Structure formats: C-alpha cells, structure tokens
Amino acid sequence: MFHSLLKFATVTCLALSANAARYPSFGTLQTTNSSGVLNVAINNTFSPINLFDFHVAADLANLIETLQANDTDIRVVVFSSGNKDFFIAHFDINFVLPGYGACFVSLLWNITQLPQATIAAIEGRARGIGNEFIMACDMRFATTAPSVLLGQIETSLGVIPGAGGGLYLAHEIGRGRALEYVLSAQDIDGATAERIGWINRAFPTSSALADYVQTLAARIALFPPAGIAAAKKEVDAVGRPSKELFIRKSQDVFDVLVGTPAAQELEEKLIALTHNQSIGPLELSYGTEVFELYK
Ligand SMILES: *[C@@H]1O[C@H](CO)[C@@H](O)[C@H](O)[C@H]1NC(C)=O
Ligand SMILES: *[C@@H]1O[C@H](CO)[C@@H](O)[C@H](O)[C@H]1NC(C)=O
Ligand SMILES: *[C@@H]1O[C@H](CO)[C@@H](O)[C@H](O)[C@H]1NC(C)=O
Ligand SMILES: *[C@@H]1O[C@H](CO)[C@@H](O)[C@H](O)[C@H]1NC(C)=O
Ligand SMILES: *[C@@H]1O[C@H](CO)[C@@H](O)[C@H](O)[C@H]1NC(C)=O
C-alpha cells in the first residue's frame, strides 16, 4: 500500500509551492485581514478531523510564499481552526512515506522565518505535525476545554517527530519533560501545557481566548514591520534550533524509520482502527487509546 503511493507523494510534494498564490482564498484556509492582522482559519473540508494533508500543505505553502515577500500590510498572522474539535489532528498517515519528509520540514521551517509575528489560537486537538505547526509559530494560546489535547505521537508509530517537535519541546519545556511526552505519546491538556511552558497561556473560554489574542495581535500590528522582523531574529538567535539541525534531523532519522516494517505496520493499523482517520475513540483520545495499536 505504502510503496504504491510513494511516486504520487513525491511528485505532489515538489508541486507544493508551484501554484501562484491565491490570496485571499486558499481553499482549506479561510483568511480575513484588517489593520495589519491576517486571521487564518484552518478548515480542511476534505477531512472530518482537520488532517494536515496535501490540501492543507499546498494552501499553507501558497500563503507562506505570499507572506515571505514582506507584505508590510500584514504584520501579525493568527492561525485558528474551523473545526473546534481538531486544530490539526496530525499528518495524513496515508502519506507517511520515506523520501519526502524534507518538504514538510521546509514548510514548517519557513513559518519560523516569516517576518510577521505568528500566533496559534488553539482549540481542539493538535498532535504530531499539528503540534509541530503550533510550535513553529511564535506564540501559542489555547483554552482549558477538554478538547484541547496536544501531543507528539510519532514514537508510538515507530518514527520520530520529523518536523522539529522534539527540538522545539526540548527548548520550551526542557529535556526531561520533552522526553516524557515525546517517548510516551501522551496528550497534554491546555492547563498543564500552560503550566510547563508548552503554550503561553490557556483561557477558560473560547471568547476569552479570542479576545486576548485579537487584542495582542492588534497591538503588535501597530508597530513598524522592520522592528517586528528584527526582534524575532534576535530572539530566535537563542530561541530556535538551527536550520541545519532542523532539516538534517528529519531527513536522516525520520526517513529511515518510516521505511521500517514496524512503522509501516503501525501506520496501517492506525488507518484500519480509525477507519481511515475518521472521528472515533483513537482520534479523540489518542493518549489513552494508543494501547489499541498494540493489542
Ligand atoms: C488587506 O486588506 C487591504 C484592504 O483593507 C488590502 O488592500 C490588502 O491587499 C489586503 N492584504 C492582504 C494580504 O490580503
Ligand atoms: C524579507 O525580509 C527579510 C528580513 O526580515 C529578508 O531576509 C528577506 O530577504 C526579505 N524578503 C524579500 C522577498 O524581500
Ligand atoms: C468549515 O467548513 C465547513 C464545511 O464547508 C463549514 O460548514 C464551516 O462553516 C467552516 N467553518 C469555518 C469556521 O469557516
Ligand atoms: C520555503 O521557502 C523557500 C524560500 O525561502 C522556498 O524555496 C521553498 O520552496 C519553501 N518551501 C515550501 C515547502 O514551500
Ligand atoms: C483514505 O483517505 C485518503 C485521503 O486521506 C485517500 O487518499 C485514500 O484513498 C483512503 N483510503 C481508503 C482505503 O479509503
């Protein structure tokens, strides 16, 4: 199954950023823009669990390409989700294949390098590349709702977080805690994530989250863009892993592990147990349901 998809996946990956930017509509990304703040709602209508698949990746590549051109009109980008149960469930497991991880790593690396300030306003689950996506943003805010569950689930699938999840977490929450979560594939809730520094803050309600994030974004967007971009670079000099580490890690380690029989078997089992990534116990409560994969 996986080998038959390999060619298609490679080709599609190369085409990720080939389309001309389709501002302000990016298909799976709904955007609104006012006073220097671009709000982007991730709403993958091809997936009930807001999967990070090729639709989302291609739309994000287009959006990022536009933002990379130093559009000084936009100074802050706020990412939220059109699916209140899933911010981004995880990567589409049908396409976890050797040889093209670098493409998604490049996409997330590009988010870290944007001149605009980036904020994730998180409602719902963000696991695997979903968590790596929020970590690639400059700031993370969430709610304390039970639907907010973050996690790096890759070790339980025989691979590693391939787009910097371990690197980001080691930096934000420290080595011991990063390993606690990365090795166990446990979920973390909003309140605990706030307490240990995985996210900036967790709010009791959606509206409190939205109010805080929009006020913060509007405030930052008043300031000159050159200063925003330069301040990010200064913080990142000690606050982000280097590009070499970030990219090489994915290519060398992730791609080797993905090709192992253990990983392929676990991925096929996940597809079967979730009925091809539909809403169900495993997608809703991966942290407690992961044992189903090992029965
Ligand atoms: C943002 O909106 C302004 C008008 O309010 C428009 O001129 C500009 O092109 C928009 N920018 C983007 C990136 O959508
Ligand atoms: C945008 O600004 C950054 C500095 O923040 C610079 O490195 C980059 O070359 C600029 N890109 C374009 C397309 O002008
Ligand atoms: C997301 O897409 C669905 C299906 O098209 C739509 O019903 C829903 O209103 C969208 N949500 C948001 C927040 O745009
Ligand atoms: C990331 O940005 C670079 C330009 O800095 C571009 O060449 C590359 O295609 C982008 N990656 C993706 C996956 O869009
Ligand atoms: C599962 O869903 C993917 C899209 O995510 C699709 O490409 C694939 O054909 C589906 N597989 C099955 C067995 O239905």
Q: Is 69 in the pocket of ligand 2 (CB under 6 A)?
A: yes
Instruction: Answer yes or no: are the C-beta atoms of 106 and 247 closer than 8 Å.
Output: yes
- CA dist 209 and 112 (Å) reads 23
Q: 171 pLDDT exceeds 90?
A: yes
Q: What pLDDT was estimated at residue 255?
A: 80
When computed from its CA atoms, the radius of gyration of the chain, rounded to whole angstroms, is 18
Residue in the block written with tokens 């089992």: 269
Predicted local confidence at residue 27, as pLDDT: 83
Residue 174 pLDDT greater than 90, yes or no: yes
Decide if 121 contacts 213 (C-beta within 8 A): yes
Shortest-distance atom of ligand 3 to CA 81: 13
Strand, coil or helix: 171: helix
Residue 131 scores a pLDDT above 70: yes
C-alpha to C-alpha distance for 112 and 201, rounded to whole angstroms: 20
State the SS3 of 185-223: CCCEEHHHHHHHCCCCEEECCHHHHHHHHHHHHHHHHCC
Nearest CA to ligand 5 atom 13: 276
- The residues near 97 (Cβ < 8 Å, ≥ 6 apart) are 2, 5, 6, 9, 258
Question: Euclidean distance between the first and final Cα of the chain, in Å?
Answer: 22
DSSP-assigned states of every residue in 142-192: EE-STT-EEE--GGGGTS--TTSHHHHHHHHH-HHHHHHHHHHT--EEHHH
Is pLDDT above 60 for 264?
yes
Q: Is 92 in the pocket of ligand 5 (CB under 6 A)?
A: yes
Q: DSSP letter at 279?
A: S
Q: Which residues contact 291 (CB under 8 A, 6 or more apart)?
A: none
pTM assigned to the model: 0.91
Which residue, judged by its Cα, is nearest atom 5 of ligand 4? Answer: 110
Nearest-atom number in ligand 4 for the CA of 64 is: 14
Residue nearest to atom 7 of ligand 3 (CA): 45
Question: What value does the mean pLDDT take over residues 62-82?
Answer: 90
Per-residue pLDDT tens for 9-44?
444 454 554 444 444 456 899 999 999 999 999 999
Beta bridge partners of 107: none
pLDDT at 241: 85
Look-up of token digits 């930096």: 171
d(CA 200, CA 181): 18
Which structural domains are found in the chain, ordered by start?
2-294 (3.90.226.10)
Residue 117, ligand 4, Cβ within 6 A? no
Across the chain, what does the average pLDDT equal?
89
Element (DSSP H or E) covering residue 139: strand 139-143
